[in-house]
Structures are given as C-alpha cells and as structure tokens.
Amino acid sequence: MATIRKRKDRWQVQVRRKGYSPQTKSFLKKSDAAEWARHIEGKADRRSLPTDAKTLDRITLRELLERYRETKEPI
C-alpha cells in the first residue's frame, strides 16, 4: 500500500509490501507521486522488485540446495 504525504514543498511517497524493502521517493507534483506509487505497486504485484535482505537471511543453505535440486532440469 502506498502512502503519499506532503513534506515541506514536496510530496513523499512510501510503498510498503511484505517481503520487500520499503520504497520511498519525493516529487514536486502529487500526480507524479501517485503515478510512481502505482508503478512500484505493479512491480511488486509482478514480483519484479528486489527481495528484502531480511527475508533472505531466514533462508538456509540446505533450503537453497533443495530448491535448486527440485527445479533444475536433468541433462
């Protein structure tokens, strides 16, 4: 969900989604802020944003190797 707020002479947008780092940016026009927020939310829906580093810390090497073994194609 995006939050748009007025900070001094700019509009600040913050987009937060579970599993992703918060994305923040400032704009001069509120319409630009809303457009950017929709763009970032769309990327999050398509899972094309970088994953939050804290989420990666919870994955073990064993889980990674098991996931690799399940997804690789036999030669």
Q: Is the pLDDT of residue 4 over 70?
A: yes
Residue 18 to residue 55: CA distance in whole angstroms: 10
What pLDDT does residue 74 have?
A: 66
Listed by start position, the domains of the chain span 2-71
Looking at the DSSP assignment, which residues form a beta bridge with residue 25?
Answer: 13
Residue 65 to residue 67: CA distance in whole angstroms: 5
If you average pLDDT over every residue of the chain, what do you get?
88
Query: Region 26-43: what's the mean pLDDT?
Result: 95
Report DSSP state, residue 8. Answer: T
Give the global pTM.
0.66
